[in-house]
Amino acid sequence: MKRFKADLHMHTVLSPCGSLEMSPVVIVNKALERGLDIIGITDHNSTRQCAEVYKVGKQKGITVICGAEVTTKEEVHCLTFFENFEKLELFQKYLDEHLPIILNDVEKFGYQVWVDEAEEIVGQEERLLISALDQSIDEVEQKVRELNGLFIPAHIFRPSFSVYSQLGFMPFDITPDAIGMSARVVVDEQIKKYPELKQYTVLRSSDAHFPEQIGTHYSIIEMEEANFEELRKALHQQGGRKVIELK
Ligand SMILES: [Zn+2]
Ligand SMILES: [Zn+2]
């Protein structure tokens, strides 16, 4: 078994709140500099920057797990990840169907562009990506399950946009692959307070919006290889694989 340093939650230039510096090449170079083996690309309600980051990551030897940070109807942020580009595209279609038609105000929220490896703009999302989908948390989870993806409620104790801020409890009808907790919460204390969370693997990540934030928080995962299927097994603690440390 090997140990991998994973930061599975970060935004790119595509998120309106993500820095324009967060291009595929900057993200991958910074991740290498910070000693990360695996990064997750999780823009708000869009997967459209994933493929280019994946490509650059592959050239430079970093595993890029592709997905999105979805805002559910209840305004809960959930990370979603997919095993291949076919599944990712089907999920993008679902996002396009369920993101409300509210246009982005660039002045107010920032640019929503995606770029190639040379940092040339490839496309621009017109709809505001930080809106909530018209889908509830269990509907989003169901779609992710249909596509054999990973479903991970993000920063669950954050004072806004989280399971506990919006719902006050972990819904009984969802079965996350893991849960995210930010560095400001003490995991053991929260699990004592909410014993229903004991069954889940906890992940910590940077939620980087700027290059300097990449890898400032991460999870050390013990598994055979740095790939999607191994990650799934590690989150479910199969065959000795597990998350062994949170930073
Ligand atoms: Zn979030
Ligand atoms: Zn985020």
The pLDDT, as a whole number, for residue 9 is: 98
The pLDDT, as a whole number, for residue 55 is: 98
The pLDDT, as a whole number, for residue 76 is: 98
The Å distance, Cα 15 to ligand 1 centre, comes to 11
The pLDDT, as a whole number, for residue 104 is: 96
What does the DSSP assignment read for 168-210? SS--TT---S-EE--TTS-HHHHHHH-GGGTTSPEE----BSS
Q: What is the mean pLDDT of residues 67-84?
A: 98
The pLDDT, as a whole number, for residue 50 is: 98
Q: What is the mean pLDDT of residues 72-98?
A: 98
The pLDDT, as a whole number, for residue 136 is: 98
Backbone angles phi, psi at 166, to 5 degrees: -95, -35
Range of the domain at 115: 2-246
The Å distance, Cα 93 to ligand 1 centre, comes to 21
What is the rounded distance in angstroms from the CA atom of residue 180 to the CA atom of residue 157?
Answer: 9
Percent of the chain at pLDDT above 70? Answer: 100
The pLDDT, as a whole number, for residue 132 is: 98
The Å distance, Cα 161 to ligand 1 centre, comes to 6
The Å distance, Cα 196 to ligand 2 centre, comes to 24
The Å distance, Cα 208 to ligand 2 centre, comes to 7
- pLDDT tier for residue 25 given thresholds of 50, 70 and 90: very high
Say how many domains are in the chain.
1
What is the rounded distance in angstroms from the CA atom of residue 241 to the CA atom of residue 223?
Answer: 5
The pLDDT, as a whole number, for residue 155 is: 98
Mean of per-residue pLDDT scores for the chain = 97
The pLDDT, as a whole number, for residue 95 is: 98
Q: What amino acid is encoded at 212 in this protein?
A: E
What does the DSSP assignment read for the chain? -EEEEEEEEE--TTSTTS-TT--HHHHHHHHHHTT-SEEEEEEET--TTHHHHHHHHHHHT-EEEEEEEEE-TT--EEEEEESSHHHHHHHHHHHHHHS---B--HHHH---EEE-TT--EEEE--B-TTSPPSS-HHHHHHHHHHTT-EEEE-STTSSSSSHHHHTSS--TT---S-EE--TTS-HHHHHHH-GGGTTSPEE----BSSGGGTTSS-EEEEESSSSHHHHHHHHTT-TT-EEEEE-
Give the model confidence (pLDDT) of 164-185 as tens digits.
999 999 999 999 999 999 999 9
Task: Please report, for the domain that includes residue 232, its CATH number.
Answer: 3.20.20.140
- pLDDT tier for residue 220 given thresholds of 50, 70 and 90: very high
- pLDDT tier for residue 3 given thresholds of 50, 70 and 90: very high
Sheet strands side by side (includes 2-10)? 150-153, 77-82, 63-71, 38-44, 2-10, 219-223, 242-246
Q: What is the token pair recorded at 22?
A: 């967060």
Q: Name the pTM for this structure.
A: 0.97
The pLDDT, as a whole number, for residue 112 is: 97
Residues 6+ apart with CB under 8 A from 205: 6, 7, 8, 9, 10, 40, 180, 217, 218, 219
Q: What is the token pair recorded at 154?
A: 């993000």
Give the model confidence (pLDDT) of 130-162 as tens digits.
999 999 999 999 999 999 999 999 999 999 999
The Å distance, Cα 162 to ligand 1 centre, comes to 8
Q: What is the mean pLDDT of residues 64-86?
A: 98
The pLDDT, as a whole number, for residue 144 is: 98
Give the model confidence (pLDDT) of 92-123 as tens digits.
999 999 999 999 999 999 999 999 999 999 99
The pLDDT, as a whole number, for residue 236 is: 98
Q: What is the mean pLDDT of residues 66-81?
A: 98
Which chain residues have CB less than 5 Å from ligand 1, an ion? Answer: 77, 154
Q: What is the mean pLDDT of residues 44-48?
A: 98
